[in-house]
Structure 1
Amino acid sequence: MSIQINDVVGRISYKCDVLFRVIDIREINGSKEAILFGEDIRLIADAPFHDLTPVGSDMRNEWKHRNEELIEQSLKLFSQDIQLLRQKYRYDVTQGYKQTSEFFQMPGKVLHMDGDPNYLKKCMDMYEKIGIPVQGITCDEKEMPQRIGSYIEKFRPDILVITGHDAYSKAKGSMMDLNSYRHSKEFVQTVREARKKIPSLDQLVIFAGACQSHFESLIQAGANFASSPARVNIHALDPVYIVAKICYTPFMERVHVWDALKNTLTGEKGLGGIETRGVLRTGMPYNKFMENES
């Protein structure tokens, strides 16, 4: 079978339920095996060549169209939420009276560390659409625990996203054993290192995890939100929607878990967390010169 690195493939045994890109090929005991990254799902997997089938442009376009529809629907719902929040801000800031000055908003700074540059680019594009200030860094999952401390000191984020690829392997052990996961252990260690720098759940809000990640360990390590309670796959953009909800919730209000999850593409099976304070601050009067300084 002629399958090369960067080819898009599906797994026959899983009825091609996820589209993967081949990122590496290795030979084990005379048999070829491919290392796979999900195209839109934060999943890493390996599969023998005999279980792979190339995915043609027609099927890829169909998947792309379907994925874009889901993203557009989630973005529309989120935008409606933001509009309602802004109306509330306007009323609260002016105490119900006709305002004489425009207010400005500071939604908080995000540091997004991602193990996959393609996923990071998709997330950065969505952050830009939503209007969230973000610093994006591509970092191998295994290096994250050593590098996170210096990044926090350098960028001083209000929200930290730690994600990339992950997967649970039943062959490696039980679902509660961190050693049964591709990168959950590294995500947990990274959260712990971040909490050494900023212990407060309100001063630094953390999202951590990827597909099938060890949710319980991530929350216990200090994450506010994490994946994946039911060990299911999550969409590449799911962290962005949770971050956006926190960014546009005032710092005096709490983000209830369901409110953060309802507009994600995966929902409560793939994502969960704890009640968390928002980070948005509103001020006035608005000065157009602030745009040039931000």
Structure 2
Amino acid sequence: MTINLMDIVGRISYKCDILFRVIDIKEENGQKIAVLYGEDFRLIADAPYEDLLVIDQTKRMQLTREFRSLEEQSYRLFQQDIDLLQQKQEYATTDGYTKKVNYFQMPGRVLHIDGDPTYLKKCLSLYERIGIPVTGIHCNEKEMPQKIGQLLEYYRPDILVITGHDAYSKSKGSITDINAYRHSKYFVQTVTEARKKIPNLDHLVIFAGACQSHFESLIHAGANFASSPTRVNIHALDPVYIVAKISFTPFMERINVWDVLRNTLTGEKGLGGVETRGILRTGMPYTAENQE
């Protein structure tokens, strides 16, 4: 069976448990090796050419339906949280519904930097559906540390997302060795550069990491939230749910970490963080212009 770039494949040795896109095919020591990007998980992997199986349309549709069902469930739970936050805010703003107040809200602005243009597109669609003001930038993981300073100065976001693909390789070192990870060191460098610009964790909220990323290094570098505490794979959309919760929480409230993680698709095994202040600000009076 011939396998081409951008084919959707599974790894036979892993019983085709994850769908991948073939993004490169190379020769190493006389063996053909494919470089794979996860379709729904932020995972990058190398695999022998002969270990790959092209996934037929029927199987792809079956797996896709399962993931979309999980995504919709997560979205519904998240939307319930947002509705509750908005009701609480309306109650406080109107003094227990006793006053008619013409107010507006300003959720936190997000700058999302992603190493995968396909995932970035999926995330931007979800931001739009939720109602989060966002700018999305596709950037290779290795180039992020050099570009982050200029991007922060230009866009001045409230929330920064630094993500893409990552993977831990046992053959390259122990789980504590950041050099054993595909892109973790670049994510850490990017967070470090961002914190040189804006040191305060409440003035710029940062999510950083991808599948199996070195969680501890990212948190110590200054990320508010990061992946992956137990080095598991995270879903492509998980960063959106985390920052959206922060974006819609009033700035006078602090967010319990579990409240942020509980409606993600991966949960606390793949995501973690520190207590963080919300971003949402309420103002008045409402006009059409201040909602643009």
TM-score (norm 2): 0.99
Deviations 1:219-263 (A, max 9, x none): 000000000000000000000000010001000001110000000
Q: Secondary structure at the match of 1:95?
A: coil
C-alpha distance in 2 between matches for 1:171 and 1:97 = 61
The amino acid across from 2:27 in the alignment is E
How many Å separate the matches in 1 of 2:125 and 2:103? Answer: 26
**Code of the aligned partner of 1:93:** T
By how many angstroms is 1:67 displaced? 1.1
Q: Does residue 106 in structure 1 map to residue 106 in structure 2?
A: yes
The one-letter code matched in structure 2 to 1:202 is: D
**Is 1:115 the counterpart of 2:115 in the alignment?**
yes
Report what 1:133 is aligned to: 133
Which piece of structure 1 moves more, 19-28 or 89-98?
Answer: 89-98
Q: Distance in 1 between matches of 2:97 and 2:132?
A: 29
One-letter amino acid of the structure 2 residue matched with residue 226 of structure 1: A
> Per-residue CA shift, 1:118-169, capped at 9, x if unaligned?
0000000000000000000000000000000000000000000000000000
Matched, 1:267 2:270: no
Distance 2:234 2:99 in 1: 43
Alignment-derived partner of residue 56 in structure 2: 56
Separation of aligned partners in 2, 1:79 and 1:103: 21
Q: Which position in structure 1 is the counterpart of 2:284?
A: 284
Show structure 2 runs of 5+ residues with no match: none
> Higher mean Cα deviation, 160-169 or 98-107?
98-107
The 2-side partners of 1:96 and 1:26 are apart by 65
When normalised by structure 1's length, the TM-score is 0.98
Counterpart in the other structure of 2:166: 166
1:72 aligns with 2:72: yes
1:90 aligns with 2:90: yes
| Counterpart-to-counterpart distance in 1, 2:188 and 2:111 | 17
CA distance in 2, matches of 1:16, 1:99: 59
Q: CA deviation at 1:22?
A: 0.1
- Corresponding residue number in structure 2 for 1:198: 198
- How many residue pairs get aligned? The number is 292
Return the letter of the residue paired with 1:84. Answer: L
Hey, what does 1:223 align to over in structure 2?
Answer: 223
In the TM superposition, what is the alpha-carbon distance from 1:69 to its structure 2 partner?
0.6
The match for 2:41 is 41
Using the alignment, how far apart are the partners of 1:62 and 1:97 within structure 2?
A: 48
Q: CA deviation at 1:25?
A: 0.3
Counterpart-to-counterpart distance in 2, 1:154 and 1:199? 17
Match of 1:178?
178
Give the deviation of 1:101 after TM superposition.
2.8
1:283 CA drift (Å)? 1.4
Does the CA-based 8 Å contact 2:212-2:232 persist in structure 1? yes
**3-state SS of paired residue (2:267):** coil
Counterpart residue number, 2:252 = 252
Q: CA RMSD in A?
A: 0.8
Give, in angstroms, the shift of residue 28 of structure 1: 1.6
CA distance in 2, matches of 1:128, 1:20: 26
The residue number in structure 2 matching 1:8 is: 8
Deviation at 1:285, TM superposition (A): 2.0
CA displacement, residues 11-63 of structure 1 (integer Å, 9 cap, x when unaligned): 01111111000000001222211000000100000000111111000111111
Alignment partners' CA distance in 1, 2:86 and 2:153: 32
**8 Å Cα contact 2:257-2:272 kept in structure 1:** yes
Q: Which residue of 1 aligns with 2:146?
A: 146
Distance 1:97 1:54, change over 3 A: closer
Paired with 2:64 and 2:188, the residues of 1 have a C-alpha distance of 32
Structure 1 Cα separation of the partners of residues 183 and 97 of structure 2: 53
More displaced stretch, 210-219 vs 66-75? 66-75
Q: How far apart, in 1, do the equivalents of 2:42 and 2:99 lie? A: 45
Q: Which moved more, 1:168-177 or 1:10-19?
A: 10-19
Question: Whole-Å Cα distance in 1 between the matches of residues 150 and 277 of structure 2?
Answer: 25
Matches of 1:76 and 1:47, distance apart in 2: 36
Which amino acid in 2 is paired with 1:87?
Q
Structure 1 CA distance for aligned equivalents of residues 113 and 99 of structure 2? 40
Aligned structure 1 segments of 4 or more residues deviating by more than 3 angstroms: none
